[in-house]
A and B are shown apart, each in its own frame.
Chain A
C-alpha cells in the first residue's frame, strides 16, 4: 500500500497563531488527498478533499477561510489552521486513495494540534 507521511506529528501553539500541517504521498502521485479531524472520543470527520491544481472541496460546516488547503504538487497537500483557537485542538489525519481501488485509502500517521 501507499506510504503517507505527515509533518509535524504534534504541535503546540498559542491562540491566534497559524499552524501548517503537511501531508505527503511518498511512493505515488496523488491528485486527491483527504483531510480528517478527530476530536477526543469522537468519530473521524472528513473536513475537505484536496485536489491538485484546483480548489479544495470543503464539507458542510468547515470554514474554508480558517482551514486553508493547498495541494501544490502531486505528492504534497498542506492544511493551514489560521488564527487557531483552543477549540481547534484536535487530531488531524490525511489520507490518499489507492490507485487500484480508489475506495481503499491510505492514512497518514496524523498530527496532534494543541492550541493553548
Chain B
C-alpha cells in the first residue's frame, strides 16, 4: 500500500528565500507524481505533474524533481513571496489506484 509523507510539516521563511519541500513515497511503481497548492478553505490547484519517465518539471519559480528509485520528490521554490503562503501537497498516482496524498507542508512566507 502506497504511503506518502512530507517534511517539514510547517515552514516559515522570510520573503526572497529559496526553499525546498520534500515528499517521500514507499511504492516506487508510480505512474506520476503531482504537486498541489491548497489555500485555506479552498480546493486544490495543480502546480506540477511529473510523469514516471521524467526527472523534473519547471514552471516559473517552481521546480519539481522526481527520483523513483529512492522514492523521493522535491519542490523547489525560488525567490519566495508572501503570496506563496499556502499548504503544499504532493500526491503519488499508482497505476489504476488513483492518487495517494501526503499530509502537506504549511508554508508561511513573511514579508
Contact = CB atoms under 8 A, between A and B. Distances in A.
Interface of A: 1, 4, 6, 34, 41-46, 49, 91, 93, 95, 101, 103-110, 112
Given A103-B32, A103-B49, A106-B46, A112 B101 contact: no
B31 A41 contact: no
Contacts, number: 51
Question: How large, as a class, is the contact surface on chain B?
Answer: 20 to 34
Contacts of B93: 103
B43 to A, nearest CB: 4
3 closest Cβ pairs, A-B complex: A107-B44, A44-B101, A109-B43
Nearest to A4: B43
A58 B41 CA distance: 25
Contacts of A1: 46
Contact of B98 (A34, A41, A107): A34
Contacts of A91: 41
